[in-house]
Amino acid sequence: EVEILLRHHNHPNIVSVRDVYENENLVYLVQEYLKGGELLDKIFREKFLSEREASNVMYVIANTLNYLHTNMVVHRDLKPSNILYADDSCAASSLRICDFGFAKQLRAENGLLMTPCYTANFVAPEVLKMQGYHAACDVWSLGVLMYTMLFGQTPFAVKPNESSEVVLSRIESGRLDLVNNNWNKISDSARDLLTNMLNPEPSKRCTASMILSHPWIKNRDQLSLKLLTNFLPQDINQTKNSVKATFRAVNSTTKIPILEPVECSTLAQRRVRAKSIVANQSKNEKEKNSPVNNSSLNKK
């Protein structure tokens, strides 16, 4: 996480790192203060959202994803709570993508990742099936975010009391809840992009670059300002509970990786072993060159 952030934190829509401190066991990141809060909380406060506003948000995030993917980095945990505003204006341009704890630098050989790290409602079907996956997962998560912005609910865990089996089955099959008052109100262009981003087949899913060239993004200044989503208090609670329901579904059937202490990581252990080897070599050299050893050799 530290290495990826230090390499890319100068991008205007990636959280910046002010300083890094570490001791024997822990690493501390000092990052910019994002006082505007989470993206969805801002939307909930305003209660209504238009296609143009949603498209402006999508443009900023897709543009940032395209930058990361071009640099062979995938985020792998692109949920709303990891997308925040830097200031109180809550302008789309002040959005920041945060929490790169699950981010991965892709291997250039095959471009696939074999270690599933995901978060509940924003997990792609191929991750659930424990298959290798790549940047298409971030696009899937962005599609879920777009759906939530336009419809005020998540596309899979619609009811908080749905069973884990139902939720998981829906995610794996890519079945969306299209029986929604707003589905027929949004433009054909929005529906086209949304279904492409949430395609359960990664190879058929659009890329971040394709999102940027899609008419719904390119012509965002011409999109309707008609307010779509009406976030009533009960809607807000249902949306939040919906996400929790998906968390429960995934947790009940799949072991979710946890972030272990830094010293337990493969890299940290490798460094410890390397230091130990160097230390032993140095010790051996000193013993070999010590006066005691030399005198004993001379006696022989």
Catalytic machinery residues: 77, 79, 82, 99, 119
Nearest residue to 45 via CA among 57, 37, 53: 37
Q: Between the CA of residue 98 and those of 24, 62, 150, 201, what are the distances in Å?
A: 25, 14, 22, 27
DSSP string, 116-144: ----GGG--HHHHTT--B-THHHHHHHHH
Is the separation of the CB atoms in 95 and 36 below 8 Å?
no
Residue 22 has phi, psi (to 5 degrees) of -150, 150
H helix or E strand, kind and range, residue 64: helix 51-70
DSSP string, 2-45: HHHHHHHTTSTTBPPEEEEEE-SS-EEEEE---TTEEHHHHHHH
Longest dimension (CA), the chain: 97
Q: How many residues does the chain have?
A: 300
Is the separation of the CB atoms in 82 and 73 below 8 Å?
no
Distance, in Å, from the CA atom of 234 to the CA atom of 93, rounded to the nearest integer, reads 30
Instruction: Give the three-class secondary structure for 50.
Output: strand
Residue with tokens 């909380």: 41
Is the separation of the CB atoms in 199 and 205 below 8 Å?
yes
